[in-house]
Amino acid sequence: MLTPKGYTDIAQIQNYLLHTIEDYFRPQVEDWIARMEKYVEQETGRVFIADSVASEKTYNGNGGLNLFIDECLGIDELTIDDTVIDVDDYIVYPTNESPKVRIKLKNDAGLYFTEDEQNVIVEAKWGYSEICPPDIGFATMVFVVGIINFSGEMEGEIKSEKIGDYTVTFKDQTSLQDFQRAEEILKKYKLIVV
């Protein structure tokens, strides 16, 4: 069983379903939450709740002043060619929003991302944001509800769909529309790598 990160929770699912999830069934629902979080991450190419502890990632230096990195909340430490770079010698972009995706060495620092393989180490809390965006939480919840509906005996189901390795079922037009909206949300957040 996987552990959920917090994109959605059982309380939100119960509110959507308008009924209580029994205690004996909660571990299964939490596993489905974690699996749908993973599905959302695979579909979008993003991790929506950043790591709580900083870790290192290694990049190739490109000989320039700018280096594009994976999405993070900010830089804890930057090392080029085994030398820790002073925080006053670089800027992280975008300036007033998250996630951060680019490091620019200041023009007056006299530094470059030396062109070499795996010579730049960035320590950061990797991910899109500190808390999951509400619409991603909604999408994750809708996917889990669809799995719950499929696992139970549903009267009058109107449609079933596949989500990764799972089949989801919709009991009415509203839940089908929510599923379609959830798929559109994922498209909106899809990371485009240039």
Q: What is the pLDDT of residues 144-191, one digit of tens each?
A: 998 888 776 555 555 667 777 777 777 777 888 998 999 999 999 999
Quickly count helices (H) and strands (E) in the chain: 4, 8
Task: Look up residue 175 and give its two tokens.
Answer: 């839940």
With 0-12 / 13-18 / 19 or more C-beta atoms within 10 angstroms meaning exposed / middle / buried, residue 146 is buried
How many Cβ atoms are within 10 Å of 187's Cβ, its own excluded? 9
With 0-12 / 13-18 / 19 or more C-beta atoms within 10 angstroms meaning exposed / middle / buried, residue 65 is middle
Distance in angstroms (rounded) separating the CA atoms of residues 127 and 124: 9
Average pLDDT, the chain: 91
With 0-12 / 13-18 / 19 or more C-beta atoms within 10 angstroms meaning exposed / middle / buried, residue 113 is buried
DSSP 8-state class, residue 51: -
In this predicted model, what pLDDT tens digit does every residue of 111-125 receive, in sequence order?
999 999 999 999 999
- Residue 24 is predicted with a pLDDT of 94
Q: Smallest Cα–Cα separation from 155: which of 170, 140, 166?
A: 170
Please determine, for residue 103, whether its predicted confidence score (pLDDT) is greater than 70: yes
How many Cβ atoms are within 10 Å of 175's Cβ, its own excluded? 21
